[in-house]
Amino acid sequence: MKVLILGMGNPILSDDGIGLLIAEEIGKRVKGAEVVTTALVGVHLLDLIAGYDKVFLIDALTTVGGIKGEVVKLKDGGATSHLFSSHGVNFFELLRLGGELGYKMPELGRVYGIEIGDEIAFGEELSPELKERLPCIIEKIADDVRSHLNPPCV
Binding site for other proteins (CB under 8 A): 10-13, 16, 38-44, 46-47, 60, 62, 64, 79, 81-82, 84-90, 92-93, 96-97, 100-102, 118, 120-123
Smallest distance, Å, CB 44 to other proteins? 5
Cβ 98 to other proteins, closest distance in Å?
9
Q: How far is the CB of 51 from other proteins (least distance, A)?
A: 14
DSSP string, 63-95: -TTPPTT-EEEEPTT---TTS--TTS--HHHHH
Taking Cα atoms as reference points, which of 19, 37, 55, 20 lies closest to residue 149?
55
Cβ proximity to other proteins: between 30 and 81 the closer is: 81
- Please answer whether residues 5 and 26 qualify as being in contact, where contact means their C-beta atoms are separated by less than 8 angstroms: yes
